[in-house]
Structure 1
Amino acid sequence: MRYGIVGTGYWGKNHVRVATELRDAGAIDEVVICDADGERAADLASTYDVAYTTRHDRLAVDAASVATPSPTHEDIATDLLRSGTDLLVEKPLALSADAAWNVVETAREEGRTLGVGHIFRYHPGLRELKRLIDAGELGEVEYLHTARFAFRVPRDTTGVLYSLAVHDVDAYDYLLGERPDRVHCTMNSTHRDDIDETTTLTLEYGDRTGVIHSSWQIPVFGKRRDLAVVGTDGAAYLDYLADTEVEVYDASIVADASGDLRKRDEGKTVHEAADAEPLKTELREFVAAVEGGRDPPASGRVGARTVELLERAATAADAGQILEVPVRTRSVERMNTD
């Protein structure tokens, strides 16, 4: 397989590193990189001993990662899909639901494999947490809470809703196996017009609630990425930065024989998942999906559904309301085949 990487900036260069590691391991045959910045592409090509081009229409590969800025995803992805290239597009798949579903439809028409870089579906700790939830270790999930904080200058292309909260919207979909019924969202923009620096997102799944806090404007915690899931029989805590550990708390509120409520707390256990770099797992599973002619775990449909929800959240923030989450006909068709 001849594999390409389009976009070699902050995250794209990690795709280059991992792709060359897969090449060296024999999982793919050749790597080609593409970046409009010819000097950057040449330097990286020299470092990793790969070919390069400055135009994606001259890439000529079997499969590729697209790690360019989000506003370019739709055009580059549709061009490459129509040229016969299977694609892994970094999240978000696009910046509007219509654009995202256009990419998905193009992949369907061309008979191509399409994946989206929802990398936390490949995080060893989150995969272990998913296993525990599915096994009923927490009982019925009632509440989820995520904090994703950093202190940095806001980007000039997308805010935290599409840059940070996107991860957790998809993670909740992955853990619960369903979409929310209603959404409420608040967004704060101070330094750049129309670029949200802090977002609070509340998702309702029937009787279950998921809360997502994302911000680039909190210097208090350093870099913080964590998730708590509370169920009827226990709770779990995942520090994404710890990679492999999931803390499970054998604790709940119970009623005694007289009907009085009391706290039951039997302590915690730590579950250790096998260590694996999420990006390498993602690329390896994408390559396997291409070779097998099937969808990867984070398919194009997964990516488009996430963009739909982000778009609805932004609408809810603008309206200052709690909004129902409608499901388009074509979205339902695709969900039913996942």
Structure 2
Amino acid sequence: MIDTRPVTVAVVGYGYWGSKHVRVLSGRHDVSVVVVDESEERREAAATHHRGIGTASCLADALDVVDAVILATPPTTHAKLALTALHARKHVLVEKPLATSAADAENLVAQAAESGVTLMTGHTFEYNSAVAKLKEVVSSGTLGRILYIDAARLSLGRYQPDVDVVWDLAPHDISILSHLLDELPSAVSVWKQRNIGDRFADVAYLRMYFERAATHAVVHVSWLDPCKVRRVTVVGDQRMAVYNDLSDNERVRIYDSGVDIRGFDSEGTARTMPVTYRSGDIVSPYLYFQEPLQVQDDHFVDCVRTGARPRTPGERGLDIVRVLEAADAASASGGVEPVRGLVGVPPG
């Protein structure tokens, strides 16, 4: 029988993402929210905007009164805070990345299993209906053989104090691409550069190889771009598809476009590349759109109530962290690095 009692959730960190979690959860009649933030100013802002919520200055002060914890704090704090909550047998959702090392992520997965509670990773785009539609298109074979995938996640600003642009932005795209292809990359190379400040790279290109799909993907991430871009382009040998998360009403477009190779002439030569270009209809399938964060947080609450395994469990987060660690190794070596020790949890 499903427990219908109210669920009390501590949202740790009332910043950019934490405030969004509080907004989403405060709209549910069956969820009580406690905002945990060391800043008195932010706690007061949360209480002003969301009547009826509780507040606390540290996680330890909230653990006795909550059932679950959502961590929306800087990535380097994730492992310590999540471990504290898991030791207290609280269900935990951690914003991406799950941790900043595979060793820490492994420890969280093991502790969640020992405590018998849910550990979920906040890979929000796996709860996005446009990404689900794109996965449906890819899986159906409509695009034919996938030749390559190009992803871009660019904007001006939101420099992070404790991780570089790869660890900040690329988890989204690694999550999306592995979700689309039903596998994690087996190898990765990376180019990244620091342009502003003296600590972290703010622009990068990752190249990932997906062995089973026999295809490559390139991910461009930047904190230093004048245009905000959230786009994934999937190029098949029959059709192509573009997912643009910033589009108002056509987030997914399928292009009946491609290139066909003609035969060479009788002498085996040609003045130009012997190809024909095909450009046909552009189709934008209907999407019933719900805010992905709402879908994700609703799913987390359901998992807390029922004990069901989340769609993006801790093991999924661990796998993404392993890819990020391989990217760091590739940056240091200047070559291609294998992604080792993948758990291989099926995406979604």
TM-score normalised by L of structure 1: 0.91
1:34 corresponds in structure 2 to: 36
- Does structure 1 conserve the Cα–Cα contact (< 8 Å) formed by 2:182 and 2:346? no
What is the RMSD computed on CA atoms of the aligned residues?
A: 2.0
What is the CA–CA distance in structure 1 between the aligned matches of 2:158 and 2:48, rounded to whole Å? Answer: 31
What is the CA–CA distance in structure 2 between the aligned matches of 1:243 and 1:95, rounded to whole Å? Answer: 34
Deviation at 1:336, TM superposition (A): 7.2
2:136 corresponds in structure 1 to: 131
Deviation at 1:288, TM superposition (A): 1.4
1:278 corresponds in structure 2 to: 292
Single out whichever of 260-269 and 130-139 deviates more from structure 2: 260-269
1:264 maps to a residue whose letter is R
Deviation at 1:195, TM superposition (A): 0.7
2:289 maps to a residue whose letter is D
Q: 2:57 aligns with which of 43, 54, 58?
A: 54
- Does structure 2 conserve the Cα–Cα contact (< 8 Å) formed by 1:123 and 1:278? yes
Q: 2:45 aligns with which of 43, 46, 53?
A: 43
Q: 1:185 aligns with which of 186, 190, 198?
A: 190
Q: Does 1:210 pair with 2:217?
A: yes
Cα deviations by residue, 1:187-215 (Å, 9 ceiling, x for unpaired): 10132333110010000113301000011
What is the CA–CA distance in structure 1 between the aligned matches of 2:125 and 2:31, rounded to whole Å? Answer: 27
Deviation at 1:265, TM superposition (A): 2.4
Cα deviations by residue, 1:29-80 (Å, 9 ceiling, x for unpaired): 3111111112311331232121111110121311121101111100100100
Please list, as runs of the form range in 1=range in 2, the aligned pairs for 1:70-85 lying within 5 A after superposition.
70-85=75-90
- Flag the 1:254–1:191 CA change in 2: closer, same or farther, 3 A: closer
Moved >6 Å (runs of 4+):
256-260
What is the CA–CA distance in structure 1 between the aligned matches of 2:55 and 2:203, rounded to whole Å? Answer: 38
Computing the radius of gyration over CA atoms, which structure comes out larger, 1 or 2? 2
What is the CA–CA distance in structure 2 between the aligned matches of 1:153 and 1:306, rounded to whole Å? Answer: 22
What percent of counterpart residues are identical? 31
Unmatched runs of 5 consecutive residues or more in structure 1: none
Please list, as runs of the form range in 1=range in 2, the aligned pairs for 1:223-302 lying within 5 A after superposition.
223-242=228-247, 245-254=251-260, 261-302=275-316
What is the CA–CA distance in structure 1 between the aligned matches of 2:193 and 2:216, rounded to whole Å? Answer: 22
Cα deviations by residue, 1:264-286 (Å, 9 ceiling, x for unpaired): 32221111211111111110111
Unmatched runs of 5 consecutive residues or more in structure 2: 1-6, 266-273
- Flag the 1:66–1:126 CA change in 2: closer, same or farther, 3 A: same
Deviation at 1:182, TM superposition (A): 1.6
Deviation at 1:253, TM superposition (A): 2.8
- Flag the 1:243–1:54 CA change in 2: closer, same or farther, 3 A: farther
- Give the 3-state SS of the residue equivalent to 2:142 in structure 1: coil
Single out whichever of 32-41 and 209-218 deviates more from structure 2: 32-41
1:308 corresponds in structure 2 to: 322
Paired residues, what number?
328
- Does structure 1 conserve the Cα–Cα contact (< 8 Å) formed by 2:83 and 2:111? yes
What is the CA–CA distance in structure 2 between the aligned matches of 1:115 and 1:140, rounded to whole Å? Answer: 33
